Amino acid sequence: MGSSEEEYIAFEQKVSRTVYFDNLSPQVTESVIRTALDQFATVKNVKFIPNYIGPSNLPKCALVEFDSTKKAKEIISMVMGYPFMMSGSPRPVRARHAVMEMFDDRPVKPNRKLKVRWLEPSDPDFQVAKEIKKLTRKHAAEIEFMHKLQLAEEEKLSRQQEDTLKLHYKKFKLIDGIMADKTAHRLARKYNLRVTDE
């Protein structure tokens, strides 16, 4: 079933004001995305792209529709120009323009005709199709390996951040203790006496 020209034009406009975000933490929710981005532009819609093939701890992807194409471009420029993080995750978020193929509810282009046929093994295009299939599997394996490396790096960075946070907490607790038991005041008085004596 085809779609009308108006419906297709409206969809093209929707795509132009939509940004594809990836490398999102698995903990990121729609409300987290809205809170992070509403300060820059009005978020009209958030749609997560489901991950059907990889483990659940892989980074998430989302299509975020804004109120205008101009705002979408500004946000892409900002996210690509500076490290932008959501949900306190050590992974910086990436952003780029959405394309029509990212939408599972995209309408059919008006007056578009598709021809489908089976390829015989003797057909020259049959070998090309086999090579493309083989290359797709290779790329999927490479992507999975890279995701594992990326997750290991992020876990390491997360542990470093946690250790740094604990160290800062100990320092502030020590300073708080010195202030509470008046040790800091006694040291200040003693220091001032020395200064005046000299």
Read off the pLDDT of each residue in 105-131 and give the average, rounded to a whole number: 83
Q: What is the pLDDT of residues 160-172, one digit of tens each?
A: 888 888 999 999 8
Q: What is the pLDDT of residues 84-95, one digit of tens each?
A: 878 766 668 889
Residue 196's pLDDT is: 39
Give the CA distances from residue 103 to residues 9, 43, 47, in Å, rounded to whole numbers and listed in that order. 15, 17, 9
Residue 197's pLDDT is: 36
Give the CA distances from residue 193 to residues 14, 120, 180, in Å, rounded to whole numbers and listed in that order. 72, 98, 22
pLDDT tops 50 at residue 193: no
The neighbouring-strand residues paired with 62 are 21, 48
CB 41 within 8 A of CB 117: no
Residue 195's pLDDT is: 36
CB 110 within 8 A of CB 2: yes
CB count within 10 Å of CB 194 equals 9
Q: What is the pLDDT of residues 7-36, one digit of tens each?
A: 888 999 999 999 999 888 888 889 999 998
CB 101 within 8 A of CB 85: no
What pTM was estimated for this model as a whole?
A: 0.61
Residue 198's pLDDT is: 40
CB 75 within 8 A of CB 19: yes
